[in-house]
Copies of this chain bind each other. A is one copy, B any other.
Amino acid sequence: MEDEERLADLIKGGLAGEGFAVDVAHDGRDGLWMATENTYDVIVLDVMLPRMNGYALCSRLREAGDWTPIMMLTAKDGIYDEAEALDNGADDYLSKPFSYVVLLARLRALVRRGGRERPVSISVGDLVLDPAGLRCRRGETDIALTPKEFAVLHALARRAGEVVSKSDLLAQAWDFSYDGDPNIVEVYISALRRKIDVPFGRATLVTVRGAGYRLEAA
């Protein structure tokens, strides 16, 4: 107990020196509560905690949908314990005694990888484009689009509120070598209106005669 608190203080001091802000909980329940109430970059967790052990706390958090990176500290060093920690949802573990250098390095690795990249989706009013899924929705309604339709709409949405010329659309949605009838753009505009405007009684896809088309911004 004394030991654990000294260790906690040590870690806290060291991490603070590295620029982390640190909260310390001295038992499992408190830890769980703090973790659910706050958002942390990373959680460092001792397996042997009063009132709720590390494994339990870990899986509780995961069940609750909390995917904050967790570093588990364990006194035992049987390999199956390590595996158990990981399978309980920890992201990494460290067996005591461990070196401070290693702890910091591992925490840095955890934090760095913690949160990042989110699929980009484009919104224009209540119209949402999902490039990863090649589909779109207006409000709550899913709209099925063919790849070509999506490409055209995407080109328009990326410049929502601006006029996009027919040749720009051709350049962006069609193969570079395409040299067919430019009328094809009109055909696709027509199809898009039938899908994203007409059923909703809207008119967001506007023709600008002699210049191109504009997707009305919010």
Contacts and interface: CB of A to CB of B under 8 A. Distances in A.
A208 B134 contact: yes
A77 B51 CA distance: 35
B120 A108 contact: no
Given A87-B108, A162-B133, A214-B134, A101 B80 contact: yes
Interface of A: 62, 67, 69, 79-80, 82-83, 86-87, 89-92, 99, 101-102, 104-106, 108-109, 113, 115-120, 130, 132-134, 146-147, 159, 161-163, 208-211, 214
A101 B80 CA distance: 8
Nearest to A107: B86
Give the top 3 A-B pairs by smallest Cβ distance, nearest first. A67-B117, A83-B105, A86-B105
Contacts of A211: 134, 147
Given A102-B79, A134-B211, A86 B109 contact: yes
B62 A83 contact: no
A211 to B, nearest CB: 5
- Number of copies of this kind of chain in the complex: 2
Given A102-B83, A106-B86, A161 B147 contact: no
Nearest to A148: B210
A200 B92 CA distance: 39
A115 B132 CA distance: 15
Contacts of A117: 67, 115-116
A67 B102 contact: no
A146 B209 contact: yes
Given A87-B120, A132-B162, A147-B210, 13 more contacts: A79-B101, A82-B105, A83-B99, A83-B105, A86-B105, A86-B109, A89-B119, A113-B113, A116-B117, A119-B162, A133-B163, A134-B163, A134-B208
A21 B92 CA distance: 24
